[in-house]
Amino acid sequence: MSELHEECGVIALYHLPNGRPSPLCPSQGSEEVSRLAPRMLLDLQNRGQLSAGVTTYSPNRQQLLKTYKDLGTVAEVFHQGSRAKYAQIMDDLAGRAAIGHVRYATCGRDDRNFAHPFERPHINRLKWFSFAFNGQLANYEKLRDELLTDPTRCFARDSDSEVFMHYLCTAVKNSEPDLLTVCRETTRRLDGAYSLVYLNAKGEMFVARDPHGFKPLCYAFDGSLFAAASESVALFNLGFSSKDIKDVPPGYVVIVSPERGVQIEEFSTSSRSTHCFFEWIYFANVASKLDGKSVYLTRIKLGEELAKREKTPIDKANALVVPVPDTSKAAANGMAYALGIPCREGLIRNRYSGRTFIEGGESRRRKAEIKYTPLPEVLEGKQVFLVEDSIVRSTTMRVLIERLRTIGLVKEIHVRVACPPIMAPCFYGIDMSTYNELFATSFMMKHYGMDGVLSSDDLTTRWILTPEIEAEMAKELGCDSLRYLPPRAISQAIGIPPLNLCQACVTHEYPTGAGCDCSDVARKRFLQGISGRSYE
């Protein structure tokens, strides 16, 4: 689903010097565990392709912390196409600890200065640190303005990463605070989504997950090698077993140091966790488990939920379920199996065209035309049930439907969306912050009026998707029919109660105060005809 974008992914690695040798460490030795970082970042490439970077630590070199980052994919940044260049980079960065990051920007310009990790050099080891995070602060503007009331402070770049930098600098300026104190002081005022990784020149590390657990974060430890990542697939592919991989609980920090080993501590509390449901729908690697729930099995169940709600008469001789590659495949398989009809790849994705939301310049429409090729030998004359993860702006879906008819020669196109309609912006790290860009909003406005947009209390009861509205949407898209899943089906498929999922973009129910405030601003901007991101 090329229209919706996650912000980034993080990793952390540490080989404790006093631990037993780890079979998972590189052959060069435990002092070069940083060599594993690019491999882990490749497993998180689905979360961002704008930039990649690492910071490594070694007590055996004069420059205790080294940061290497640039624009591009992991393979491009680390020159993995050139054995000599890649080896030189890895030799230069060799260390016993590392943090890393892949990025897609929801705020901040697309240049190297915004790539993570961010290193802050200092003559004091405790105050020399580097950090990276996945997420977005909903109260970023408020915190920035408060910080700038101090005339001694300044912002070099207008992004929420710099809020983290200010708070981290303040937290570590005290006389040798422990990392639990640093984490507590840094995050005390934050409202939003973040999974944070931190490494200092004393050789201390922590990884922390926000109190609501919006973004996924997991870790594993085999007695000497500690590793953490946004998704479990990065740890599993290192060689950790599923039983060794644990989710960082919301509001907890895992602290790693040579003196104390690995400790897990609570740094903040919340009345409830609210995991982003889109992680299971689209963002996460299908091989991952998030908070104990398999992404693959969840998507299979989403397809089964679509099948339960199918009312269109099925032409068994000609019916096909076709996924929009790649993240819809599991849902399409689940739907097809439940309906007893074939699932075929009638759309072939050009894997070398890049992810359309990363690149700039060309229109989304032209990118979608380049990215997907219909196969008439599979599709001609067929009744196609086209399965998609979600529809945000609808640009890609319109192109696909047109090409399925003109090139694929499809007889009928019935679009099935394994997600509810997106009707509200997100302020926790997904790149959709305005009502203007959302396909479903105009139809809801037409039927329920502007009063619903002004009153967040009324939206969940007044903005109800009906078969009549779905029919209007289908006509606009150019398909024969359109069906969405209701919010309750998402909770059932994931296996997490609705109260513990963030579904604000489909229910308008924001789980934090700053999220509600941003929503009010977005509504007012929409009614005033103001375009652009609400936080820029």
Residue 290 and residue 298 in contact, taking contact as beta carbons nearer than 8 Å: no
Residue 65 and residue 18 in contact, taking contact as beta carbons nearer than 8 Å: no
119: its two tokens = 């290193």
Q: Provide the residue type at 101 as one letter.
A: H
Distance CA 322, CA 320 (A): 6
Edge-to-edge strands of the sheet including 97-103? 65-71, 51-57, 97-103, 8-15, 225-229, 218-221, 246-247
Q: In sequence order, what are the beta bridge partners of 327?
A: none
**Torsion sign over Cα 498, 292, 134, 368:** negative
Reduced to 3 states (helix: H, G, I; strand: E, B; else coil), residue 339 is: helix
Strands 205-209 and 192-200: antiparallel
Whether 169 is catalytic: no
Q: Provide the residue type at 265 as one letter.
A: E
Helices within 188-326 (DSSP H only): 232-236, 278, 295-308
Sole residue written with tokens 């700053």: 514
Residue 77 and residue 70 in contact, taking contact as beta carbons nearer than 8 Å: yes
Sole residue written with tokens 């000497």: 224
Q: Is the peptide bond before 291 cis (omega within 30 degrees of 0)?
A: no
Sole residue written with tokens 């640093």: 182
Q: Which of 8, 343, 419, 426 does the annotation list as catalytic?
A: 8
Q: In sequence order, what are the beta bridge partners of 289?
A: 294
In this structure, how many other beta carbons lie within 10 angstroms of the beta carbon of residue 138? 28
Distance CA 54, CA 12 (A): 9
Distance CA 267, CA 111 (A): 33
Distance CA 513, CA 137 (A): 12
Catalytic residues: 8
